[in-house]
Structure 1
Amino acid sequence: MKKISIIKIVCVIALLLGIHRCTSYKKLAPHIFLVKENTSFLNQTLTIGQPLVVEGKRGSQYYGYIYVNGEKKEGYISSRNVIAYVFDESFEKEITSFPDSYKQPLRFLHTLYPEWSYVPLSTSLDFNDTASIFQSKSLIDTDDESMIASPDIIEGQTWCRVSLNASRYFLDPRSGLNAYHALMFEKLTYNPSETLQEGKRMLEGTEMSGIEPQSKKDWAELYRHSAEVNNISMSLLITRAIQEQSGGGLGLRGGHARNNPQGPLFYNIYNIGANTSDQDGIDFAAVRNWDTREKSILYGSKYLADNYITKGQDSLYLQKFDVHNNNPGHHYYMSNIRAPYSEAKNMLRGYISNNIDHAKRILEIPIYSNMPVSNPYPISSDIKYSGTIIKEPYNTYQIADTYKNLTENVDYISIDYPTYRHIVGLNNYYGSCDIPK
């Protein structure tokens, strides 16, 4: 009896400690899984949408790998945190008009969010010419020499002119074709399904949570009303305000007009017209007599709707990169080249927290002429791999032509179908979904 009791105790302790030896390991055919929510993997965070190769399972844990700066990283991840990538033949009709290099990221997005739909915005613009235009008109808050054209400070204490490679990377729509950033392409007219309660949750933890002290109205109500009367997305207004006023910016605190430093305070929640400094934004507000935060939100929303949304710049991407009318660099909202990316992340967080990320959404994605095969992130040591698993960031191939000379499950994953093999690249490769057997 004592022997049996001891054995039972040992097994219970093993279970409590999470020892996997009692659960058999099952080898699986290598397959792509996508991260459903930010999760830890080998002491680093994988963001939503990150693909990894799974080749085994033990209990509720998948065993898989990714490449980080050329090094293979292997480990376990909970099955609750990933979803299997499934190739949807019917979806191919929707993305026929996109170049091949757009298609695999779109397929990943479709697996995560099958409710979203995608339309191409064809431009007649040369990609490199357009990147040069925005390089001369964009700033970035870093001193990394790979990201800046020179160390000269243009604005504030950290904002420098972007490098040409950085301009190419952020302009390239494929850089944003992952779950974390794809909402930069969402069309942003008014969405009646967005509720007041959702607005409140998006503002939680910010300086705009609760009651706005001047109007005595709820901050969320100010944004919800402004969205409705101006036919503009409430999520856009809230994320734009958070982006521009995090840390209590001058547009939120209020400031005096440059020509009347003792005069009344003016507010510019969205920092409209703040081309080189917050003070420019205050002067913009002063001319329009935005002497309350409520006016700033309401009339600032109208300004955004009238000057951007109804003019064809109805996405975060197009408000930075005004390529909708083939005359770029003349009507862009912000100089911060990373703004569409950070605002898209804020918008996704808001959607997820309000359980509306699976609502129907239309994403309009620009296409340029003479696009390079890829535009890698300028800082090669940084992990910027949310759309693909990269082994060698600067080696790019088209799988349709070269996959036979590559190593399966190292360079690409092959998923068998009755008459063809679907190829998924692991190293920034892209290629055909229809490789005849």
Structure 2
Amino acid sequence: MKKTSLIKILCVIALFLGIHRCGSYKTVAPYIVLVKENTSFLNQTLTIGQPLVVEGQRGSQYYGYLYANGEKKEGYISSRNVISYIFDESFEKEITSFPDSYKQPLRFLHALYPEWSYVPLNTSLDFNNTASIFQSKSLIDTDESEMIASPDIIEGQTWCRVSLNASRYFLDPRNGLDAYHALMFEKLTYNPSETLQEGKRMLEGTEMSGIEPQSKKDWAELYRHSAEVNNISMSLLITRAIQEQSGGGLGLRGGHARNNPQGPLFYNIYNIGANTSDQDGIDFAASRNWDTREKAILYGSKYLSDNYITKGQDSLYLQKFDVHNNNPGHHYYMSNIRAPYSEAKNMLKGYISNNMDHVKRILEIPIYNNMPAYNPYPIATDIKYAGTIMKNPDCEYQIADTYKNLTRNVDYITIDHDSYTHIIGLNNYYGSFDIEK
């Protein structure tokens, strides 16, 4: 066999095995790119906003790396799937009031969606105390031991009480400051720019696509009208309905009240009042005579607006974690602790499919007292770009009251500007520092 043929075969085998050194690439000074659409990298799915460090280029392919659970992963990614991260000095004025540990994720979000703006919500609540409150009031549909307080089933066949570490993770706003989840902080009053056609596209492929059989009206028309008259986001209503009724929930099919099993059907599209079961939601609907889906959508929207949106709980996050006042855990919409995360993903999907992601939006992000440096996901399975906070500008990081000197381009990279150097942490560190020259 010719030597050149053998080399080609070895390169193909190496590429199949995930080894990426066979092809040469032009080395460049390391810089950060952000994934602009879900894509694959070394057999892992990278979601929108995931940062990678690029250190080389070969044609339309970038050679770069990221850290997954503390392990460096290197490989190629198409330049079409990423955008370069550019530090925007003018944006710094907008995020001055946020703690340092919030700022780098916000900078990445700003690079992806410069039309979005961010305001802090200072809760004055102690983070750990608040996490304990919601740990006692939240459920999760898993049997993973790290995620649950005990294997006892609280609701249905899979819902258990969350563990304290899981409560800390989902409560921590910094864990939602990526493009895939950040819409959980969007303020959700009525947006007149959301059109009927956009609502129809959001409902495509669901059980609520086309004509609603009772009213003979388009499902999207019902949501659009309800949003307008009740001063609430149409996207929220549609996303909430999809979240609650995917798979044909009882609130969509209709159910009988407990005290009248032979009586009329009632509907609860948003599962309002379904604290422990779908039946609770049906009883709630029966008490308000929601005997058609149109009523459930219209008056359910009014209930959400009157009891949440206009009372300060005007984001997906605040509807789960009622930290807008000093009495958390007493007025939350859902017991599912992951609901804001999954609903935010559905909302982003709807925005992208309708070209609505690049419009002006306001995101209000809570801040707590005594926040830990980092609240990791209890199960080390997800790619994370987070860790302990940068302590000072000569690249020491504080780790559990000790210090570690970091190595450039391994633990952090720098971006030079005329008057300062912008430092960004890598390898399970987060935060950044600007050093004046």
> TM over 0.5, yes or no?
yes
User: Aligned residue for 2:127?
Assistant: 127
8 Å Cα contact 1:105/1:178 also seen in 2: yes
Cα drift, residue 402 of structure 1 = 6.0
Taking the TM superposition and a 5 Å limit, the aligned residue runs for 1:178-197 are 178-197=178-197
CA distance in 2: counterparts of 1:132 and 1:153, whole angstroms: 20
Cα drift, residue 236 of structure 1 = 0.0
Deviations 1:344-366 (A, max 9, x none): 00000000000010000000000
1:85–1:367 Cα change, 3 Å: same
CA distance in 2: counterparts of 1:98 and 1:346, whole angstroms: 27
CA distance in 2: counterparts of 1:318 and 1:167, whole angstroms: 15
User: Aligned residue for 1:85?
Assistant: 85
Deviations 1:387-428 (A, max 9, x none): x2x6xx6xx242526615201111111111223211111133
User: Aligned residue for 1:383?
Assistant: 382
CA distance in 1: counterparts of 2:427 and 2:326, whole angstroms: 33
CA distance in 2: counterparts of 1:217 and 1:42, whole angstroms: 47
User: Aligned residue for 2:159?
Assistant: 159
Cα drift, residue 432 of structure 1 = 4.3
8 Å Cα contact 2:393/2:435 also seen in 1: no
Taking the TM superposition and a 5 Å limit, the aligned residue runs for 1:32-181 are 32-181=32-181
8 Å Cα contact 2:67/2:73 also seen in 1: yes
- Name the stretch that deviates more: 418-427 or 138-147: 418-427
Q: 1:256 aligns to what SS in structure 2?
A: coil
CA distance in 2: counterparts of 1:213 and 1:324, whole angstroms: 39
Which residue identity is paired with 1:189?
Answer: T
Q: 1:306 aligns to what SS in structure 2?
A: helix
CA distance in 1: counterparts of 2:273 and 2:413, whole angstroms: 48
Cα drift, residue 433 of structure 1 = 3.1
Q: 1:145 aligns to what SS in structure 2?
A: coil
Taking the TM superposition and a 5 Å limit, the aligned residue runs for 1:261-410 are 261-380=261-380, 382-385=381-384, 388=385, 396-400=388-392, 403=395, 405-410=405-410
CA distance in 1: counterparts of 2:428 and 2:92, whole angstroms: 20
Deviations 1:185-244 (A, max 9, x none): 000000000000000000011000011111111000000000000000000000000000
Q: Write out the 4+ residue segments of structure 1 that deviate beyond 6 Å after TM superposition.
A: none
CA distance in 1: counterparts of 2:94 and 2:419, whole angstroms: 21
1:402–1:334 Cα change, 3 Å: farther
User: Aligned residue for 1:428?
Assistant: 428
CA distance in 2: counterparts of 1:294 and 1:252, whole angstroms: 11
Which residue identity is paired with 2:217?
Answer: K
CA distance in 2: counterparts of 1:400 and 1:357, whole angstroms: 36
TM-score, normalised by the number of residues in structure 2: 0.92
Taking the TM superposition and a 5 Å limit, the aligned residue runs for 1:246-261 are 246-261=246-261
Deviations 1:77-134 (A, max 9, x none): 1111101111110000000000000000000000000000000000110000000000
TM-score, normalised by the number of residues in structure 1: 0.92
Q: 1:372 aligns to what SS in structure 2?
A: coil
CA distance in 1: counterparts of 2:243 and 2:93, whole angstroms: 36
CA distance in 2: counterparts of 1:257 and 1:38, whole angstroms: 44
Which residue identity is paired with 2:309?
Answer: I
CA distance in 2: counterparts of 1:204 and 1:73, whole angstroms: 37
Which residue identity is paired with 1:30?
Answer: P
Q: Structure 1 regions of 5+ residues with no counterpart?
A: 1-19
Tell me if 1:212 matches 2:212: yes
Q: Structure 2 regions of 5+ residues with no counterpart?
A: 1-19, 397-404
Q: Give the aligned length.
A: 413
CA distance in 2: counterparts of 1:326 and 1:177, whole angstroms: 24
Over the matched positions of the two proteins, sequence identity in percent amounts to 87
8 Å Cα contact 1:400/1:432 also seen in 2: no
1:103–1:215 Cα change, 3 Å: same
Cα drift, residue 383 of structure 1 = 1.1
